Chain A
Amino acid sequence: MKKKFLLLLLAASTYSIASKAQDTVKTTADAPLVLYGSVDTYYKDDFSGHGNIPTSFASDNNSVSIGMIDLGLKKTVGNASFVGEMSFGPRNDQSIPTAGYHIQNLYVNYAFSPKFSATAGYMSTFIGYEVISPTGNFNYSTSYLFTNGPFQNAGLKFTYAFSDKVSLMAGIFNDEWNVYTSQHDVSTFGAQLTITPVKNWTAYLNVATGPSSGTEFDLTTAYQITSAFKLGLNAATYSTTHYSAGFSGVALYPQLAVSKVVTLGLREEYFKSDNGTAASTYAPVGPLPGGSVLASTLTANIKTGPLTLIPEVRLDGINKQQYSSFTNSSGDPTKSASQFVLAVVYGF
């Protein structure tokens, strides 16, 4: 694995040098080969003494643990571009259901015009507010909506910008989420309507629907109201007849920059698991079917250059004991769980 990694880096360096050499004889404005990514590590302490909160990532309790190393390469020449992003570590493994696979993004894009483009490959999902990369999230722990929604969608999509304020993406994707290859066919339809009602406010109305993957409607929006204050919102509902289950929820993300290095943010999320039926073969991560959870997460981002220190306190409360799988320090069932996380993320 180490050799493979070194070979990969060597190949990337060679490609970069080759690109540079070509740049000396041509004068086009093509972007250089860009390398980007992140590494993250964390310490978590669940106040019960054992892990309780089941949302994605940061799963190890009372341990200095690692997230992942994320490495992406991208390049644009003329109207064509590619992105290849791979990751290694527990965060990668928890985000991709196929063991041993390490691709987060692998796609090619062609812009037919400044307004119309096509993209094909394996891409981060267009659904939801939060993302897999720790540099893309304000909070280090993740929401129930994120955990239960898609992470990636493989497929072919087209995007058309009607104006600076309105654009539409529509595409066809593999029948199941998060997989490189379809189980049977390419039968999930996905669309995203992007609206910018006023400057610095963007809203995304999303739908992904297919006979196997189910149907999720999602609203993701963020408004940078002042240079210091941002408000985000994510609301979604999911149902599937295939697995006879579903969920719905809403999360609010107010964030306030209190200095040039410190920003404070709250995530207030309500998430409900549908009742399901006797035929249910899937239950959402979180409260047991029929139950709901209110999760409050207070996070600080302390930035120094490319490094972000993220202290975070989180309290999750289930509406009724019978829907809870939390246990207290004695191992007895309880309705609530709380944890502290200290994470460090380096983005480049």
Chain B
Amino acid sequence: MCVLFAKVASAQKDLLAFNEQNKYMYYQVVGQPGVITDTLNDRALYFLEKAYPKNTIKKGETSGNYTGTGKFLVVSGLTMAKHIEGEVNYTYYIECKDQKYRYWLTDFVFTPYKVDRYGNSVPQEGIDIPLESATTKLDKKQVDSYLDQIGTYGKAFGDKLKYYILKPAALPKETKKKVISTKDW
């Protein structure tokens, strides 16, 4: 079971590819038959606002495009002894068209964390390591682990986006207040 888990975990790195600038990216194109651009656009925006409220959101030059930045923690160790290794900052892009959308995450930059005097895990200022050149400054094993976690994060990002795109129920509803008259009974 452990071997299986290790294989599944290590496979996440394979979800990443390189773009034209030779940077790692997590890239997916998803077909969504029967859904027009405007609807996809609204759902994607709602996804960004609700699922990743700390990410920056910038509307692209053309309708249905969003970009922005975000970050997440990378850890090492098992549940009991989880250690925060650092954070990975990234840039995301979402583009919607009739009946399909695509998204990608790229510009992954790792900033190591240290434990400060109060026990807080805090970024080490001034140390920003692009994942493409990380092996020159970090152990290969470390870098592989971070790439696995980036792959996992990218997949989770896509799964959540798919959920918001597929489920109109995820969009905000106008909730009518239920009022009961106690006069008529």
A residues apposed to B, CB below 8 Å: 12-13, 16-17, 20, 32-36, 72, 74, 83, 85, 105, 107, 123-125, 131-133, 135-136, 199-202, 222, 224-227, 230, 260, 304-305, 347-348
The answer to the question of B139 belonging to the interface, with a C-beta cut-off of 8 Å to chain A, is yes
Report the stretch among B20-28, B115-123, B167-175, B177-185 that lies at the interface.
B115-123
Could you tell me the distance in whole angstroms from the C-beta of B60 to the nearest C-beta in chain A?
A: 26
The answer to the question of B138 belonging to the interface, with a C-beta cut-off of 8 Å to chain A, is yes
B residues near A131, Cβ cutoff 8 Å: 117
In the complex, the answer to whether B118 meets A224 with C-beta atoms within 8 Å is no
0/1 per residue, B51-86, Cβ < 8 Å to A? 000000000000000000000000001011111100
| A202/B125 contact (C-beta < 8 A), A35-B80, A36-B83 known | yes
Whole-angstrom CA separation of A131 from B120 in the bound complex: 14
In the complex, the answer to whether B136 meets A260 with C-beta atoms within 8 Å is yes
In the complex, the answer to whether B117 meets A34 with C-beta atoms within 8 Å is no
The answer to the question of B33 belonging to the interface, with a C-beta cut-off of 8 Å to chain A, is no
In the complex, the answer to whether A200 meets B125 with C-beta atoms within 8 Å is yes
The answer to the question of B107 belonging to the interface, with a C-beta cut-off of 8 Å to chain A, is no
In the complex, the answer to whether A224 meets B125 with C-beta atoms within 8 Å is yes
Report the count of interface residues on B (CB-CB < 8 A): 26
Whole-angstrom CA separation of A243 from B118 in the bound complex: 29
In the complex, the answer to whether B117 meets A133 with C-beta atoms within 8 Å is yes
In the complex, the answer to whether A105 meets B118 with C-beta atoms within 8 Å is yes
In the complex, the answer to whether A105 meets B115 with C-beta atoms within 8 Å is no
| A133/B82 contact (C-beta < 8 A), A200-B126, A305-B139 known | no
Known pairs A225-B126, A305-B139, A348-B81 / 5 extra A-B pairs, C-beta < 8 Å: A34-B82, A35-B82, A36-B121, A124-B119, A260-B137
| A32/B118 contact (C-beta < 8 A), A200-B125, A260-B136 known | no
Whole-angstrom CA separation of A202 from B125 in the bound complex: 9
The answer to the question of B127 belonging to the interface, with a C-beta cut-off of 8 Å to chain A, is yes
The answer to the question of B128 belonging to the interface, with a C-beta cut-off of 8 Å to chain A, is yes
In the complex, the answer to whether B126 meets A13 with C-beta atoms within 8 Å is no
| A224/B127 contact (C-beta < 8 A), A32-B82, A34-B82 known | yes
The 8 closest A-B pairs by CB, nearest first: A224-B126, A200-B126, A124-B117, A83-B119, A131-B117, A200-B125, A35-B81, A260-B137
